[in-house]
Amino acid sequence: MKKYILFILSCSIISSAIAQEKQVKVAAIGFYNLENLFDTEDTKGVRDTEFTPDGKNLWDENRYQEKLANMAFVLSEVGKELCPSGLSVIGVCEIENKKVLEDLVAHPLLAERKYEIVHYDSKDERGIDVALLYQANHFTPDNSRTVELVLMDDDGDRNYTRDILVVSGDFDGERFHFLVNHWPSRSGGQKRSEPGRRMAGEKTQVAVDSIYKVDPDAKIIVMGDLNDNPNNKSVTKDLMCMSKIKNLSKQDMYNPMTSIFRNGRGTTAWRDTWSLFDQIIISAPLVNARGNQYKYHTTQIFNPNYLKNPNGQYKGYPYRTFAGGQYQGGYSDHFPVYLYITKDI
């Protein structure tokens, strides 16, 4: 078995094999549900009154700044075990607008990375959106768009939800495509709400297919809070994800989160049951790449102890901002997820 000595350089690892010289570059890509990152203003036409100084959450500037600091700290830490400059690309959800993202990336813990933002306002009733953050020296987007998800309620009225964000561009000399998702919630129960997520899965698959039509060897990363687990139909049937690498055809999508979920791990908890709603799904060409092209390496959940509730009924659950209507000063009700990709250099 080869042994490697690791030398850190920027966001990459240069690995020198004792038996044979080999250099490997590593990059990290992640996703995080920021759990209601709202500013303190009451925005017209948006249900955000609870996140104002006079609202039930007493959401004032102090709490807002503490939330920003907590989110910035987490994002500054994810992926650093192999990439000192952290995540090259980050998908986020549950953010109110572009302003909160600008405040987030300007925080001292993140400012030196000079993250830039791809964001579109959605028609979501609560005003929450998805977005992509990226380090411009690692990724240069040249095309972005949203895919609208049109849902109707039982009365035939429009049920506004989050759009799917699609961003394409140059990632360190290779073309990558990122799809950021926040699928409809399980409000009203898993079974009753399932059609919305199945439609989201279908829409995401259509977007993936449209990329493959232009580039049959496309490197695609689908990420997001899917509000479904890796074994639910929205993921396995509608997005048509495969759970084993050996079964992959050329244009399949591979879900590395399936094995993590089968081992009983998750990113969010409810009634003593872990769910793995936060997922990163990748295209077969990224799995099967060779040589000096980026290739999928591994996927992980980021869940250090400080992100876990330290005591009480919910000990070990994600340590969130509010619990039972009480301000906790925590982080999020979700753990982040991330993956490493590598290439020979």
- pLDDT for the residue 345: 84
| pLDDT surpassing 60 at residue 16 | no
Q: Which of 248, 242, 232 is nearest to 196 (CA)?
A: 232
- pLDDT for the residue 269: 96
- Between 168 and 159, whose confidence is greater? 168
pLDDT tens track for 75-122: 999 999 999 999 999 999 999 999 999 999 999 999 999 999 999 999
Mean pLDDT computed over 168-191: 96
Q: Which of 339, 335, 340, 310 is nearest to 34 (CA)?
A: 335
Task: Kindly indicate the confidence band of residue 324, based on its pLDDT and cuts at 50, 70 and 90.
Answer: confident
Class of the 4-344 domain? alpha beta
The separation between CA 326 and the C-alpha centre of its own chain, rounded to angstroms, equals 27
Q: Report whether 11 contacts 87 (CB < 8 A).
A: no
**β partners of residue 169:** 141, 176
d(CA 77, CA 86): 7
| pLDDT surpassing 50 at residue 175 | yes
- pLDDT for the residue 154: 79
The DSSP code for 15 is: E
Mean pLDDT computed over 286-301: 95
d(CA 104, CA 129): 15
Count how many residues are written for the chain.
345
The DSSP code for 87 is: -
Task: Kindly indicate the confidence band of residue 11, based on its pLDDT and cuts at 50, 70 and 90.
Answer: low
> Domain map of the chain by residue range?
4-344
| pLDDT surpassing 50 at residue 325 | yes
Integer CA distances (angstroms), 206 to 19, 118, 222, 316, in order: 46, 21, 12, 38
- pLDDT for the residue 20: 56
Global confidence as pTM: 0.94
- pLDDT for the residue 45: 79
d(CA 132, CA 147): 15
Interacting residues of 155 by C-beta distance below 8 A, sequence separation 6+: none
Backbone angles phi, psi at 163, to 5 degrees: -80, 165
- pLDDT for the residue 270: 92
Q: Report whether 226 contacts 197 (CB < 8 A).
A: yes
Task: Kindly indicate the confidence band of residue 22, based on its pLDDT and cuts at 50, 70 and 90.
Answer: confident
Task: Kindly indicate the confidence band of residue 13, based on its pLDDT and cuts at 50, 70 and 90.
Answer: very low
Average model confidence (pLDDT) for the chain?
92
